[in-house]
Amino acid sequence: MKITVLDGFTLNPGDLSWEELKALGDVTIFERTPEELTIERGQDSEILITNKTAITADIIKKLPKLKYVGVLATGYNVIDIDATRKAGIVVTNIPAYSTDSVAQMIFAHILEYCNRVQRHSDSVKDGRWERSKDFCFRDYPLIELKGKTLGIIGFGSIGKQTAKIASAFGMKIIATANSPKQPPAGVEDFKYYENYEDLLKEADFVSLSCPLTEKTERIINKKSLSLMKSTAVLINTGRGGLVCETGLAEALNVGQIGGACLDVLSTEPPAPDNPLLSAKNCTITPHIAWATKEARTRCMNIAVENVKRFIEGNPQNVVNN
């Protein structure tokens, strides 16, 4: 069976192995595939593996041999699901492989905002401590998390793991999701909200852990930002499209909210004129919350198992039933 990996570099820049996938068929691996080469590279393939390379309805029409698309991620908005369903093509994703890594990144951002570790370290290396008249100096306010309220929008596996970490810091947790959710074991100071507006009003930190859908697109916008505390901090490790970026930049620049910690943007890589790149009190990492070696290893293993199960006629993690 002909298997083509369209954009394998971000999953495996060289520290993992494709050998288990290669054992399942005739495998060709491309580090990246530009849009204009997708049809050419997938022409004879029965199986396509993609991370962010889009598989549109037009592409599907021009790949008559295609039987299966494996997405190397949890989100699968790069695939035209209706077109695959009509063509009888199976589409699978990789659920829950990065839960611990993403929750860890959420708190990496929160702790950086609260303690400014890197900025204080840079100040020390610039000689500020040497010249200090006191035994210490502080360039930024330091914030203790105990007693603060973390609002989580989207309470799936990542949201629940984030709540567990927050609880260990002594934080209060409030959450909202499509349906009422119970907190994981050990999380006691928890409250569920039916709507996210009430959550925004109460939270000191707001973490976006929901999928990007028509309902959640730009859920953070000028109106919703106006509900937040002036000291509140927004964390987005979900999808860039959850946020209206011009509205967030304006809110940051005028001090309407305290700060933003982002791992995702609406266009990636961002355009030079993205207003968040120059916004005040905004920390941005380049979509790496998922990318620890441990998480990528899990992703690779599940991706291989997905292909194996499809070949055996018993597919798993199917998203277009």
Q: What is the pLDDT of residues 193-238, one digit of tens each?
A: 999 999 999 999 999 999 898 999 999 999 999 999 999 999 999 9
Mean pLDDT throughout 265-289?
97
Q: Write down the pLDDT at residue 5.
A: 98
Radius of gyration of the chain (CA): 22
Whole-structure pTM value:
0.93
Q: What is the pLDDT of residue 6?
A: 98
Residue 239 appears among annotated catalytic residues = yes
Phi, psi for 259 (deg, rounded to 5) = -175, 175
Q: Which of 40, 144, 268, 294 is catalytic?
A: 268
Q: What is the pLDDT of residue 107?
A: 98
Q: Which one of the listed residues 109, 116, 120, 239 is annotated catalytic? A: 239
Backbone angles phi, psi at 149, to 5 degrees: -110, 125
pLDDT at 275 over 90: yes
Mean pLDDT in residue range 265-288: 97
Q: Which band of pLDDT confidence, cut at 50, 70 and 90, is reported for residue 178?
A: confident
Is 2-97+293-311 a domain of CATH 3.90.480.10? no
Average pLDDT over residues 55-65: 97
- C-alpha closest to that of 41 among 10, 68, 71, 5: 5
| pLDDT higher than 90, residue 101 | yes
State mean pLDDT over 159-184: 94
H helices present in the chain, as ranges: 19-22, 38-42, 57-61, 81-87, 99-115, 117-125, 157-168, 196-202, 222-225, 245-253, 293-311
pLDDT band, residue 55 (cuts 50/70/90):
very high
Inter-residue long-range contacts of 163-172, CB under 8 Å, 24+ positions, other chains counted: 163/187, 163/190, 164/103, 165/103, 165/104, 165/106, 165/107, 166/107, 169/145, 170/145, 170/146, 171/145, 171/146, 171/147, 172/147, 172/148
- The confidence score (pLDDT) of residue 244 equals 98
Please report the pLDDT score of residue 179 as a whole number. Answer: 82
pLDDT on residue 181: 83
Q: Considering 109, 120, 287, 296, which one is annotated as catalytic?
A: 287
- Can you give the pLDDT at residue 176? 96
CATH superfamily of 99-284: NAD(P)-binding Rossmann-like Domain (3.40.50.720)
Question: At residue 144, does pLDDT exceed 90?
Answer: yes
Q: What percent of the chain has pLDDT over 90?
A: 95
Average pLDDT over residues 135-141: 92
Q: Write down the pLDDT at residue 236.
A: 98
**281-300 per-position pLDDT tens digit:** 999 999 999 999 999 999 99
Burial category of 182 from C-beta neighbours within 10 Å (exposed 0-12, middle 13-18, buried 19 and up): exposed
Percentage of the residues of the chain whose pLDDT score is greater than 70: 100
CATH 3.40.50.720 positions along the chain are 2-97+293-311, 99-284
pLDDT (0 to 100) of residue 29: 98
| Mean pLDDT within 19-27 | 98
Q: Is the pLDDT of residue 114 over 90?
A: yes
Provide the mean pLDDT of the chain.
Answer: 96
